[in-house]
Amino acid sequence: MIDFDRVTFTYPGAPHPTLHDVDLHIPEGELCVVVGRTGSGKSTLLRAVNGLVPHFTGGLLAGRVSVAGRDTRTHPPRELADVVGLVGQDPAAGFVTDAVEDELAYAMESLGIAPAVMRRRVEDTLDLLGLVELRDRPLGTLSGGQQQRVAIGSVLTAHPAVLVLDEPTSALDPPAAEEVLAALQRLVHDLGMTVLLAEHRLERVVQYADRVVHVPGDGALLEVDTPARVMAAAPVFPPVVGLGRLAGWDPLPLSVRDARRAAGSLRDRLTDRAPVRPRTTPPGGVVAEVRGLAVTYGPIVALRSVDLRLHHGEVVALMGRNGSGKSTLLAALVGLLKPSGGRVTVGGRAPYGRPAKEVVREVGLVPQEPGDLLYAETAAAECAQADTDTGAPAGTTAAIFGRLAPGIGGGTHPRDLSEGQRLCLALAVIMSAAPPLLLLDEPTRGLDYTAKARLVEILRGLAAGGGAVLLATHDVELVAEVAARTVVLAEGEVVSDGPTGDVVTHSPGFAPQVSKVLAPQRWLTVDEVAKALAG
């Protein structure tokens, strides 16, 4: 179905190829997961399947890519649209209509499908992806996760033979991600669709894969094998595999179910041990306070009667289903939204209605779409401008960027960075101002495990220096690593607020893999287990 024959691709002006001598065959009806570090070339590989590489990107393509017998060199993306459906990392960038149902129908209209067939497929897709209640909603009012599901649905309605997905669960809460992955499995197993997806959150997808393609980057050859064999040696792997490596299990587990079956002796060894975690009492004074906060978008109530205090020196996770109000709360804290009721204070003053240059010294927000913060022509110019705007010493932003995403040339244009690298640059820009309160909205979208570990180290350093961090995320593994306290929103209300170990282990949907494997014991991370076994 998909064939790469000695494919080498080099972007315009790049000194080295991103893909080098790639040979890959993906048969019909297979779910193939592409893994690799941030910026290794995963998105390039995916975009070569529908011809965006090289027809849209430019650059030099050697070798041959064919899909269902069509050579992508001679068939541009429009001539592959009936065969290949592509959903990128930024779902909103691909929208062409204003409402959910219209977006689902657009691809079929372009292909000239009969109206009766279109109507049936729209209804099937609404049910498949849990979008029925959103069918009449304007796309601009949807949360990032809801937009992700609509983007996937807009491709599925055309019934392509090949579905290509770049980070399909990155903006989805755990239950929604499971629903989407279950839908993909049905498409593969029942309809014979071929699915190729790149994903950093391997804990969600690797157990469903027929094969795994490891893209090592730096022009090295791909590694293609069964999930178990690739995970045994790959530098990127989910926590359940890390736990299996630590405990010496053979074969390595790929799912929580497999790990629980092997974990009996490990639970026995840990019975009389307890995890050591960061303090959970507020270490400093109040940096921000929300009292009775309400926010509405016309008839839609996004937040209602929210009370929250954030203290100096703590990292707090904000969790909840897509559309629960997480991004709205962050926007209210940074002054982008005027409360409909209640009040918000940061540093003792309301942020709304004040000059942005004044507010940014008290609170900084990195939004879900980091590109919204980037305007310069190069990464170096972006860093230099951030130093100037914040009054930071020259080189401050570049140093932070280098820690988060090492090895990127300063002359690189921000739009030429991968999604994860762009996020790292936006993080550096905001963090250079050293605001007492840092707000992060889905900060690990597009980040591999190595980059995520560097982010965790930086956030811990900020908290140790007296800063406060509030991160809205669906990444339960990040929460387990860095947050001492977790707040859960549902339908715009706070339904849980307490120590992370208590909050997430009581929630089947938001518990990390290690917690599920070792339950009823309350371990959160592989690192906690390793330290307990060592000491």
**What CATH code is carried by the domain that includes residue 110?**
3.40.50.300
Residue 282 confidence (pLDDT) = 56
CA-to-CA distance for 203 and 231, rounded, in angstroms? 11
407 lies in which domain range? 370-433
Q: Is 8 exposed, middle or buried (0-12, 13-18, 19+ CB in 10 A)?
A: middle
Residue 86 domain-assigned (yes or no): yes
Whether the CB-CB separation of 441 and 367 falls below 8 Å is answered with yes
* Same domain, residue pair 230 and 375: no
Residue 283 confidence (pLDDT) = 66
Residue 433 confidence (pLDDT) = 84
pLDDT tens, position by position, 170-221 = 778 888 888 888 888 888 998 889 999 998 889 989 999 999 999 988 777 7
Residue 256 domain-assigned (yes or no): no
Residue 9 domain-assigned (yes or no): yes
* Domain total of the chain: 2
Query: Is omega for the bond preceding 251 within 30 degrees of 0, making it cis?
Result: yes
Residue 268 domain-assigned (yes or no): no
Q: Last residue of some domain: 236, 270, 301?
A: 236
Radius of gyration of the chain (CA): 23
Residue 290 domain-assigned (yes or no): no
Whether the CB-CB separation of 92 and 445 falls below 8 Å is answered with no
Residue 427 confidence (pLDDT) = 87
Residue 138 domain-assigned (yes or no): yes
* Same domain, residue pair 232 and 378: no
Instruction: Please name the helix (run of DSSP H) or strand (run of DSSP E) that holds residue 26, with its range, or none.
Output: strand 19-26
The b/e string for 380-413 (b: 16+ C-beta within 10 A; e otherwise) is bebbbebbeebebeeebbbebbbbbbeebeeebe
Residue 290 confidence (pLDDT) = 95
* Same domain, residue pair 229 and 377: no
Residue 349 domain-assigned (yes or no): no
Residue 526 domain-assigned (yes or no): no
Q: Last residue of some domain: 390, 406, 433?
A: 433
Residues of the chain with pLDDT under 70: 277-283
Residue 278 confidence (pLDDT) = 56
Residue 206 confidence (pLDDT) = 92
Indicate left, alpha or beta for 162 from its phi (over 0: left) and psi (-120 to 50: alpha).
Answer: beta
Instruction: Please name the helix (run of DSSP H) or strand (run of DSSP E) that holds residue 247, with its range, or none.
Output: helix 239-247
Residue 27 confidence (pLDDT) = 93
Whether the CB-CB separation of 315 and 483 falls below 8 Å is answered with yes
Q: Last residue of some domain: 389, 409, 433?
A: 433
Residue 279 confidence (pLDDT) = 56
- HSE of 191, CA atoms in CB hemisphere, 13 A: 14
CA-to-CA distance for 38 and 211, rounded, in angstroms? 20
Q: Give the C-alpha distances (Å, rounded to integers) separating 152 from 126, 169, 177, 203, 509.
A: 11, 10, 12, 20, 22
